[in-house]
Amino acid sequence: MSDRSLYERVLERVAEGVELPAPRPPRASAAVVPWRRAADGDVEVFWMRRAESLAFMGGWHAFPGGGIARSDGKIAVSGEPLGAEEGPLEAGMPAAVIGDIELGTAVTPAVVAGALRELYEETGLLLIAAEVPAEELERRSRELAARLEDRERFGPALDAVGAILDASRLVYAGRWLTPPLGPLRFDNRFFLLEWPEREREQPRAASTESAEVEWVRPAVALERWSRGEIITAPPILHLLRVLAEDGPEAGLERLRNPVEANLGPHRRVEFQPGVILFPLLTPTLPPATHTNTYLLGHGDSALVDPGSPYAEEIEGLLAALAAAETEGRRVRAIWLTHHHPDHVGGVQRVREALGVPVLAHPATAERLRPLGIEIDDALEDGQRIVLAGDPDFVVRVLHTPGHARGHLSFLEERTRALIGGDMVSGVSTIVVDPPEGDMNDYLASLERLASLEPSTLFPSHGPTIRDAVGKLRAYIEHRLWREERILEAWREGVRDPEELVTRVYDDAPEIALPLARRQLQAHLERLEGERLL
């Protein structure tokens, strides 16, 4: 098409095989699940809601844990976790998420030390070797805390107070790999730790990373998740389910080999009920490498943006959908957020395989028709669609132009989950490229979405965002900040577009400057329309 935007041409160049930087390997990480039995014998676990300000999983519920530091390999550890030597650590891990990771059976001392360090930093629980009186343990813990406040590293601080970490109370509970939602991925090992109420020292919020902490029964936590009150990651959900159903002893095999958490070659990624995410490799704007395809509903379902043009990715998606159908989730239609190639690359193959219609905004249909992609029916602003199931999944269609004239977002009514397409990104930039993109429309669409007070935002690129309104507001503020910089330069007499780009986008890498020029044009057109230039 002669009117292909620069943004679309960039995506086409990526599809043609422009060499991109190699992805970073997943970072080793570990988490500990403290548990105890209540008076009635039921299991309780200790977890936390992470601070909203955290870049990774801000506002999510999780167990104590984090990335393994290089210095963890120098920390002495006594004993080893029960079961760490049994079976391959990648047991139950689906092919689509393994990627380039080191496989094998060993839980290294560095991973164990890192798990115990994170446990101490986030909960105050210090597991050290050799029996010492409670008063002596408390003294060492206080002295250790004082040394760490002076920024002494954990290992040297342990040596200074005469303590060696003890791993013998940990029980290995499985390995999970973060799906390819963005460049930051974790290769995570989980450990159970029984911590009875009779222990003198009890876990607490010992870090600013925790907004709140609590002991909770797994069944209660799952019920809160099912109502959309909390968001958490797939391994946490699996741990909660197994502990609720089988307990920490009988459920060990399910924890260590979580094949039940797979959908075909994909891991089930369902951060909120009724929204299953499949990150598919696509020719998209770096540093993003994948576009999120979403399966919406608990029975009758809609498939949003099967965007990959690669046969292997689409065949994996179809296998996952077949597995979901055995659970009663059947795709009734394909919905498109907009026409860009990284969102529609697999539409024809999926339509043929499933025999379902493709729905989109009329403006999207207009853009796709010359490419041979026909839209079977229109999705219009304000339309309310009920996907029958248990419970029904009720979606409100929202026309949100700006990035593209026919861009749509989808708001689920019960949990207020927002499928936001390319309105925001969890990993890359949202390009507003005239004439297809319009900055006035884009800002108005962001404002409209924020005013609807969605709870969780599911973008097309990158991880799920817990504080949806905060993210939308941050995008508005950022764009207006850019405009202030343009106006400042304009008042100083700068009129040359290249000089404006240099001034206003001085934080952009050189490779991004062509798209920055188009963003600048979108801002200038908006400012002229507002008679501010």
pLDDT per residue as tens digits for the range 331-363: 999 999 999 999 999 999 999 999 999 999 999
* Same domain, residue pair 207 and 292: no
Q: What is the pLDDT of residue 243?
A: 98
Residues 229 and 344 occupy one common structural domain: no
Same domain, 317 and 183: no
345 and 228 housed in the same domain? no
- Dist. CA 342–CA 305, nearest whole Å: 9
| 419 and 448 co-located in one domain | yes
Contact 491, 405 (CB under 8 A): no
Chosen domain end from 262, 278, 300: 262
- All residue ranges of the chain with pLDDT < 50 are 1-2
3-state secondary structure of 50: strand
Environment class of residue 3 by beta-carbon count within 10 Å: exposed (0-12), middle (13-18) or buried (19+)? exposed
Give the separation between CA 449 and CA 428, rounded to whole angstroms.
20
Q: Which amino acid is at 298?
A: H
How many Å apart are CA 463 and CA 217, to the nearest integer?
Answer: 27
Residue 437 in 3-state DSSP? coil
Query: Could you tell me if residue 169 is inside a domain?
Result: yes
HSE-CB for 193 with a 13 A CA cutoff = 32
pTM comes to 0.91
260, 463, 344, 444 alpha-carbon torsion, rounded to 10°: 140
Q: Residue 151 class from Cβ within 10 Å (0-12 exposed, 13-18 middle, 19+ buried)? A: exposed
Considering 262, 288, 321, which residue would you say is the last residue of a domain? 262
What lies within 8 Å, CB to CB, of 138 at 6+ separation is 200, 201
Task: Tell me the pairing of strands 77-78 and 300-304.
Answer: unpaired
Looking only at the bridges linking them, the beta strands covering 393-399 and 262-263 are unpaired
Are the CB atoms for 193 and 171 separated by under 8 Å?
Answer: yes
Q: Determine how many CB atoms are found less than 10 A away from the CB of residue 322.
A: 13
Same domain, 241 and 307: no
Task: Tell me how far apart the alpha carbons of residues 73 and 153 are, in angstroms, rounded to a whole number.
Answer: 13
Residues 126, 120 contacting (CB under 8 angstroms)? yes
Helical axes 468-491 vs 497-504, angle rounded to 10°: 130
pLDDT at 490: 93
Domain range for 454 is: 270-480
Let me know whether 227 and 280 are in one domain: no
d(CA 437, CA 3): 12
CATH number, domain of 344, equals: 3.60.15.10
- The total of structural domains in the chain comes to 2
